[in-house]
């Protein structure tokens, strides 16, 4: 179960409030006051706290009751009481229980819980949101519907993956002959060169040795001429009876052995074709430049062999992909049929609930139409249908006031069962409405406040008369204040809203009667 409600809000250094705190009701909160007192500034601050507006204050903080944390946020915060803080100094920072959290994460966490109904918000008219409302209504009536919806979405994603795989293989099949020829050429080129691990480095060493061969040979000849005179060294050592005779003669023997070994090595080098070695080094150097090294070239060769094998087996792979696509398509169609039937079954009840809400809001009745898509390729993640709702005109042609009352009707029709599943924020929802229309909006918000925590600005008396908590915002020399009104204060403020600053006896009587008749204490 997911729900969110605000228990306390603190604002510091905004355009209207130097410092202010208030404790909203869990249900219907209405804010009134003279123009310019700071009501809209307050709502902007609330939206900024959840990352939905740029902040207009240096410090914002809310104590929240948060239940049902999305899986991707588990471990980041715990359920229950959460303190959300926004601080603006050198830059803007968000904190959850004193833990620094990026703004994007704040938006991802809280946006599903917030519904901001402003005079410029037309997002509810898109088909995705209309389906969300319809599906929400059906879920409140049918416990098995959530699983039906989930099964369809899983099948759609599986079908989309199978379709994309098949399409890719079909495209490859069209150019497979060209691809096979190219891959064969790449393989043949590498296999002809037949590089070995460490060969390039060994050839560089060999090249260096060959380049020194003439100098080594010349020096070897000089040493051998010296060794040809070694008998004279032996005679000298015998004549002087030196104690070092044996070690010197042993050293000369060792030198002679070394010369023999080096001579054999030079003969071997003489047999090597230097031109072939240089050509080989050049070829391996080009390989190194292209692939990064011999090891990388060998890995590339292995990958190309596997790629060629895939092309050789493409017919079999393509056949398997076609079977997977057909199975995914059959499953999707079967689950789409179950989803469609569930929607069709509850469509009339949804339309009736929507029209009941529209009637209470003094709006014309709506027609809800589900059109089944014939081709499975036309299915979307939303289902195998198109959903359209029209009143006496298309939704896009409604005025902003009419459209926001339509949004309220959608919320009412959804028949939400979970208390405080979200927060609704409204900025002068009843502006430019007739008294009868304004009363309808107030009644709708009162009904919604059993399922939502509502924050609303109003310049008419109907919302304040039904609110659980009525806050008066007043402009003061040291910054505006937010004051929760008692019954007498509410009567005075409602009377002011009716008659203006010069409060009349009739306005007071009307306000008293409204609160006595309508307000739930």
- Residue given tokens 């088909």 in the structure block: 127
The percentage of the chain sitting over the pLDDT mark of 90, rounded to a whole number, equals 37
For 165-203, the pLDDT digits (tens) are 999 888 877 766 666 676 667 767 777 777 788 777 777
* Paired residues of 454 in beta bridges: 28, 424
- Please say if the pLDDT value at position 416 is more than 70: no
Average pLDDT over residues 507-512: 88
Torsion on CA atoms 418, 421, 426, 432, rounded to nearest 10: -20
Average pLDDT over residues 251-277: 78
Residues 194 and 274 placed together within one structural domain of the fold: yes
Same domain? 290 vs 205: yes
- Is the model more confident about 67 or about 372? 372
Torsion angle (degrees, nearest 10) of CA 198, 199, 201, 205? 130
Domain shared by 184 and 308, yes or no: yes
Write the pLDDT tens digit of every residue in 17-68. 999 999 999 999 999 998 889 999 999 999 999 998 999 999 999 999 888 7
- In the DSSP assignment, the letter for residue 26 is S
| Closest residue by Cα to residue 146 from 328, 342, 428 | 342
83: helix, strand or coil: strand
Is 198 in the same domain as 268?
yes
Residue 336 lies in a domain: no
Q: Kindly state whether residues 114 and 182 are assigned to the same domain.
A: no
Least confident of 41-50, 53-62, 256-265, 416-425: 416-425
Average pLDDT over residues 245-253: 84
Residue 334 domain flag: no
- Picking from 479, 484, 470, the residue whose alpha carbon sits closest to that of residue 19 is 479
Residues 88, 11, single domain; the answer is yes
User: Does position 156 have pLDDT exceeding 50, yes or no?
Assistant: yes
**What is the phi/psi pair of residue 460, to 5°?**
-115, 160
- Spatial distance between the Cα atoms of 452 and 420, rounded to a whole number of angstroms: 4
Using alpha carbons, list the distances in angstroms from residue 398 to 95, 125, 350: 40, 11, 21
79-128 pLDDT tens trace:
788 899 999 988 999 999 888 999 998 988 888 888 887 655 566 678 88
Measured from the Cβ of residue 508, the count of other Cβ atoms closer than 10 Å reads: 17
Long-range contacts of 279-283 (CB under 8 A, 24+ apart): 280/203, 281/200, 281/203, 281/204, 281/207, 283/193
Share of the chain above pLDDT 70, in %: 91
User: What is the pLDDT at residue 341?
Assistant: 95
Query: Distance (Å, rounded) from C-alpha 415 to C-alpha 417?
Result: 6
Q: Does residue 431 belong to any structural domain of this protein?
A: yes
* pLDDT computed for residue 300 by the predictor: 76
Do 25 and 95 sit in the same domain of this protein?
yes
Task: Say if 471 falls within a structural domain.
Answer: yes
* Pairwise CA distance, residues 517 & 513, whole Å: 6
Together in a domain, 185 and 299: yes
CATH no. for residue 71?
3.40.50.300
User: Which H helix or E strand runs over 8?
Assistant: strand 3-12
As a whole number, the mean pLDDT across the chain is 85
- Closest to 419 (Cα-Cα) out of 466, 454, 462: 454
Choose the final residue of a domain: 314, 330, 347: 314
The full 3-state SS of 234-277, as one line of letters, equals HHHHHHHCCCCHHHHHHHHHHHHHHHHHHHHHHHHHHHCCHHHH
In this structure, is residue 450 part of a structural domain? yes
- 471: containing domain: 1-118+419-485
pLDDT tens column, 200-246: 777 777 777 777 777 877 787 888 888 888 888 788 878 887 778 88
The confidence score (pLDDT) of residue 157 equals 96
Question: Do 44 and 82 form a contact (C-beta atoms < 8 A)?
Answer: no
* Residue 225 resides in a domain: yes
- Whole-prediction pTM value? 0.65
Higher local confidence (pLDDT), 227 or 72: 227
- Angle, helices 213-227 vs 245-271, to 10°: value is 150
Strands 452-457, 422-426: pairing is parallel
Q: Is residue 493 part of a domain?
A: no
For the chain, the domain total comes to 2
Q: What are phi and psi of 302, to 5 degrees?
A: -65, -40
Residue 109 sits in the same domain as residue 200: no
Reported as a pLDDT band with limits 50, 70 and 90, residue 417 is very low
Amino acid 177: pLDDT: 61
Domain end position, chosen among 314, 333, 364: 314
Out of 270, 295, 314, a domain closes at 314
* The two structure tokens encoding residue 339: 């989803």
The answer to whether residue 51 is domain-embedded is yes
Q: Are residues 296 and 197 in the same domain?
A: yes
Residues 383-387 have a mean pLDDT of 95
Distances (CA, A) of 160 to 108, 157, 301, 315, 328: 26, 5, 33, 21, 9
Backbone torsions φ then ψ of 147, nearest 5 degrees: -70, -40
Residue 340 has pLDDT above 80, yes or no: yes
Q: 199 and 279: one domain?
A: yes
The answer to whether the beta carbons of residues 201 and 223 sit under 8 Å apart is no
Same domain, 192 and 306: yes
């Amino acid at each position: 179960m997911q729900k969110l409600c605000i228990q306390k809000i603190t604002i510091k250094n905004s355009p209207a409030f130097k410092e202010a705190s208030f404790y909203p009701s869990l249900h219907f909160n209405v804010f009134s006051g003279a123009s310019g007192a700071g009501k809209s500034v307050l709502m902007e601050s609330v939206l900024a706290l959840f990352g939905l507006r740029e902040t207009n204050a240096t410090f914002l903080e809310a104590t929240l009751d948060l239940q049902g944390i999305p899986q991707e946020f588990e471990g980041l915060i715990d359920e229950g009481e959460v303190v959300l803080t926004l601080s603006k100094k050198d830059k803007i920072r968000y904190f959850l229980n004193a833990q620094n959290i990026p703004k994007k994460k704040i938006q991802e966490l809280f946006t599903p819980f917030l519904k901001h109904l402003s005079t410029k918000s037309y997002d509810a008219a898109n088909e995705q949101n209309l389906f969300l409302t319809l599906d929400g209504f059906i879920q409140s009536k049918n416990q098995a519907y959530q699983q039906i919806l989930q099964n369809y979405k899983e099948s759609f994603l599986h079908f989309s993956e199978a379709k994309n795989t098949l399409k890719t293989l079909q495209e490859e099949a069209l150019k497979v002959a060209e691809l096979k020829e190219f891959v064969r050429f790449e393989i043949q080129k590498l296999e002809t060169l037949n590089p070995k691990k460490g060969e390039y480095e060994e050839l560089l060493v060999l090249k260096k040795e060959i380049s020194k061969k003439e100098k080594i040979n010349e020096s070897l000849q000089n040493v051998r001429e010296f060794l040809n005179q070694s008998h004279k060294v032996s005679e000298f050592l015998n004549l002087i009876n030196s104690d070092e005779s044996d070690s010197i003669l042993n050293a000369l023997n060792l030198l002679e052995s070394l010369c023999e070994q080096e001579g054999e090595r030079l003969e071997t080098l003489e047999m090597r074709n230097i031109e072939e070695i240089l050509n080989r080094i050049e070829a391996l150097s080009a390989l190194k430049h292209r692939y990064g090294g011999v090891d990388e070239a060998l890995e590339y060769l292995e990958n190309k062999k596997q790629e060629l094998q895939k092309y050789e087996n493409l017919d079999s792979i393509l056949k398997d992909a076609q079977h997977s696509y057909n199975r995914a398509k059959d499953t999707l169609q079967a689950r789409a049929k179950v989803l469609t039937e569930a929607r069709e079954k509850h469509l009339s009840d949804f339309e009736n609930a929507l029209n009941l809400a529209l009637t209470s809001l003094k709006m014309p009745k709506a027609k809800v139409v589900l059109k089944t898509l014939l081709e499975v390729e036309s299915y979307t993640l939303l289902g195998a249908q198109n959903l359209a709702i029209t009143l006496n005109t298309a939704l896009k042609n409604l005025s902003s006031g009419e459209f926001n009352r339509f949004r309220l009707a959608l919320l009412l029709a959804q028949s939400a069962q979970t208390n405080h599943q979200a927060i609704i924020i409204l900025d002068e929802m009843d502006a430019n409405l007739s008294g009868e229309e304004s009363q309808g909006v107030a009644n709708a918000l009162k009904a919604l406040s059993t399922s939502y925590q509502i924050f609303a600005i109003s310049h008419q008396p109907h919302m304040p008369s039904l609110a659980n908590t009525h806050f008066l915002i007043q402009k003061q020399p040291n910054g505006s204040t937010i004051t929760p009104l008692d019954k007498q204060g509410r009567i005075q403020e409602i009377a002011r809203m009716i008659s203006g600053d010069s409060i009349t006896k009739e306005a007071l009587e009307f306000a008293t009667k409204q609160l006595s008749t309508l307000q739930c204490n």
